[in-house]
Structure 1
Amino acid sequence: MSTYVQEETWDREKMRDLQWERLKTTIERVYENVPFYRTAFQEAQIEPESIQSLEDLQRLPFTQKHHLREHYPFDLIATPIEEVVRFHGSSGTSGKPTVVAYTQQDIDHWADIVARCIYMAGGRPGDILHNAYGYGLFTGGLGLHYGSERLGCATVPISGGNTSRQITLIQDFKPRVICATPSYLLNIGETMKEMAIDPTTTSLKYAILGAEPWSEEMRDYIEQLFDIKALDIYGLSEIIGPGVAMECPEGQDGLHIAEDHFLVEVIDPETLQPVAEGEDGELVFTSLTKEALPIIRYRTGDIASITREQCVCGRTTTKMSRVKGRIDDMLIIRGVNVFPSEIERYVLQMEALSSHYQIHLSKKGVMDHAVLHVEVSESFFDSIPGQDLKHPLAQDLVKDIQHTLKEQALVTMDVQLNAPNTIPRSEGKAKRIVDQRKASVAQT
């Protein structure tokens, strides 16, 4: 078996032994070198030596995104700044990013982890890999780039945007693997069709997709659009970037976590207590090999579950489900909790609609008001007399959508039909929520 999957077939006891040794080292590192953690441990009356097993991890304090913002830019770094070779970051509400740092060893580990992910997805040395993730402070582009090179792929660092050039290079270079957000790959495929190019005729065989929640229905749509295997990759900059977990093409029923580098928990976000295996909750990760920015029990805000049975592909690592959504993305619509990805499921099941949608939020008095903006398919649009979206045929479609959402998702919401190609396309992460609530309050 390839060196890129060795650790993923270990028995549970061997993996736990490695995790425990690395957890001890990480705890000592943060206690000795990061004042924030030393203070947090002391406030919880915990010394490094009092952590005696993996189960004791639950005694340690959580880390949250606001802690990274409050200690901007370098206060959580555990090595001398001279040992840092790269910074990445994610956007912050104040306009300043949350900063993450990497030593050379961190970069090397990250490249190895992502190489394993690409191999797991079907990539092989000698393949051409088209990387349409954004480069820069965002970890996606460079994360996949270094992993691709580490595996031995010829990497096309095109980044996001400039869709016509993307299509030209896909046709001319004939890559076997493509990396992008699901919504942007969808944009590429639909643009190909507009250019009278059949997406199923490209050289692409595997798509590594992430950076946004996406539904099984979106996967099915993309796979049929390109005649391709569409596979989910998970990561976030605070932990390392892409590569924390990857889906295999044999199973496509969960993402294998790189457990030799990351320790996973799932908690109830309200009680902060562990949930049962297979039950949805908030993902929590502890890094096990990070030098520059080790992180303890980081609350990701992502909702998923984990299972530990051996996969059909032969891997024994813990699997996480596809991310259902983020805690802060969850909408409360007339008293019902719902994630945008749940709405997406039903939009993609209706032949009269395209795959593009947005949810517009506003205020009506003191209440939140949601309107689902959907785009009708060109065939349906052409079938409406005068292409009038106020016509009874179109209004019947509105009623059908509302009925489906009410029956399947228990959500009652207004629906706005839009003509084909009028909802903005993504060249990176899709903008599914348009929040106009502050503007609504200001107007009242």
Structure 2
Amino acid sequence: MGKQFMLNRATARLKFLRDMERVAALSRPELDAEILTMLPNAIAYARHNSPLYRSTLGGLTNGGTAIKSLDHLRNLPFTTKDDLRARYPYGLLAVSPDRLMRYGESTGTTGNPTSAFMTYEDWERGNVWVERALRQVFTDRDTVFVAIPYELAFAAYDIDRALEAVGVTVVPTGTLNQVCPWERTVEMMRAIHPTGIVCTPTRALRLFDMFVSRGYDPSEVGLRVLFYTGETCSPSKLKKIADLWNVELFTAFGATETNSLALPCRHGTLHLSEDRYLFEVIDPETSVPLSPTERGELVLTSLASEAMPLVRYRTGDIVRIDDTPCACGLPHRSIQHFGRYSERILLQGGSVLRMDVEEAALSVPGTGSYYVLDDESDPPAIGVEVTRQADAQAVLTAVENSIAKACGIQFKALDIDKSLIAQAMDRMLKPGSLSIRHVREP
């Protein structure tokens, strides 16, 4: 029984590997045609098997198989995070529970947690693509620290499993746990000399400063690659982190409900998982469809999910999709992620994305990599780390002018001690969303 079980799983992974290579060789028109071929069956599957969609899509003609185009799809209702919360934990389960391989939950930092689940087929169908992406970044000569949460999450295990398949030596440190706090991670990095680390950009920044504060030389670690995930980060901040560590940057994008949604190629382009999902972009305020090249909210529909199919799920992520062909040859379009719509800053009768403020502030010469926002004051304030203290006031004025020009909002810029920010970061699961409130908390 055990041997046959393992053989069946190995056979399934081989099938998904072969299908992945077939899809990777398609032209863009061929991939578009395949997506539309998969769509009606995916809608019919969700309607028939998911408790949620039996309710919301029960009146569909021909059981959903008439949904054969994007225009048809846009007639269907959206699925929201509130739908998932209301049906926690198994209200979207579309298979028998004994078929599940993975169960996970969101952090619950923005409301009640939501659940997610996968069959073995769901898991392998996505993981072979993660392996393919990481094989272009790492080799069997690399040692990689995986410093993102393992608890109740898919991403750490997904990356861990793919790195293992590549032949990498994996060091599963996790994050914010008692077994391996950041102080121990620093000491292990000095002793083991990893060539890669998987973490958020802000964690990479904090680790660098912990090295320096202990009198260590970060360059002696020999780090070559930062594979960052779990946090949106501006180009200016990313460049500063890359320069500090002298590393190459790669990233991935995903969600609790889906696992990976976009993965990098060897050129660093972030390619959408269009063999598993159909993607739309809408105006987050009006829900009107936008051109994919416009910045808007990402909406996805599952094309091949067994355990938890989703139909027109509003992710809450603000993105732009680019259909420019990539030199790597993949037919999949690429994506830029600008942050969560729920985390936008509401000010002066309008709103602005946090990443836009971050880019405007940290692109100013003389600023460091740390900053904190205070959107409760009038005018709103931003505390930035000033590295050119002799010209501190000129730097702060330049920050104010840069934000006003880029975002149309007048901020008051203040010089802030980065040690205060660091202390607050060490207490947070998601330090990239740091605000003045966190700095003030004891």
TM-score, structure 1 normalization: 0.85
Please name the residue that 2:8 is paired with.
none
Return the offset for 1:34. 1.6
Q: Which has the larger displacement, 350-359 or 292-301? A: 350-359
Q: Does 1:23 align with 2:39?
A: yes
Q: How many residues are aligned here? A: 415
Please name the residue that 1:434 is paired with.
435
Please name the residue that 1:305 is paired with.
320
Please name the residue that 2:345 is paired with.
331
- Is this contact kept in 2: 1:358–1:431, CA < 8 A? no
Return the offset for 1:110. 3.1
2:422 alignment partner AA: P
Q: In 2, distance between residues paired with 1:182 and 1:141? A: 15
Please name the residue that 1:117 is paired with.
133
Q: Which has the larger displacement, 71-80 or 336-345? A: 336-345
1:226 alignment partner AA: W
- 1:21-74 deviation per Cα after TM superposition (whole angstroms, max 9, x unaligned): 433332222111123212212357673122134553223221111000010110
Return the offset for 1:181. 0.6
Q: In 2, distance between residues paired with 1:5 and 1:326? A: 32
- 1:195-235 deviation per Cα after TM superposition (whole angstroms, max 9, x unaligned): 33333443322221121110111121121111111122100
- Is this contact kept in 1: 2:364–2:398, CA < 8 A? no
1:374 alignment partner AA: V
Q: In 2, distance between residues paired with 1:328 and 1:316? A: 31
Aligned 1:1-16 pairs, distance under 5 A = 7-16=23-32
Please name the residue that 1:73 is paired with.
89
Q: What is the SS of the residue equivalent to 2:103?
A: strand
1:409 alignment partner AA: C
1:64 alignment partner AA: T
Q: What is the SS of the residue equivalent to 1:374?
A: strand
- Note closer, same or farther for the CA distance 1:420–1:84 as it changes in structure 2 (3 Å cut): closer
2:249 corresponds, among 212, 230, 251, to: 230
Return the offset for 1:431. 4.5
Aligned 1:1-400 pairs, distance under 5 A = 7-42=23-58, 47-53=63-69, 55-92=71-108, 96-120=112-136, 122-161=137-176, 162-239=181-258, 241=259, 243-250=260-267, 252=268, 254-321=269-336, 323-362=337-376, 370-377=380-387, 380=389, 383=390, 394-400=392-398
1:192 alignment partner AA: F
TM-score, structure 2 normalization: 0.85
Please name the residue that 1:418 is paired with.
416
Structure 2 gaps of 5+ residues are: 1-16
Q: Which has the larger displacement, 149-158 or 86-95? A: 86-95
Structure 1 gaps of 5+ residues are: 384-392, 440-444
- Is this contact kept in 2: 1:361–1:433, CA < 8 A? no
1:334 alignment partner AA: Q
Return the offset for 1:168. 2.8
- Note closer, same or farther for the CA distance 1:287–1:188 as it changes in structure 2 (3 Å cut): same
Q: In 1, distance between residues paired with 2:273 and 2:140? A: 20
2:262 alignment partner AA: A
Which one has more relative contact order, counting CA pairs under 8 Å at least 6 apart?
1
Q: In 2, distance between residues paired with 1:173 and 1:422? A: 30
Please name the residue that 1:406 is paired with.
404
2:74 alignment partner AA: Q
Q: What is the SS of the residue equivalent to 2:43?
A: helix
Return the offset for 1:395. 4.5
- Note closer, same or farther for the CA distance 1:268–1:308 as it changes in structure 2 (3 Å cut): same
Query: Would you identify which runs of 4 or more consecutive aligned residues in structure 1 move more than 4 Å?
Result: 2-6, 43-46, 393-397
Return the offset for 1:164. 2.9
Please name the residue that 1:389 is paired with.
none
Q: What is the SS of the residue equivalent to 2:359?
A: helix
Return the offset for 1:13. 3.1
1:324 alignment partner AA: F
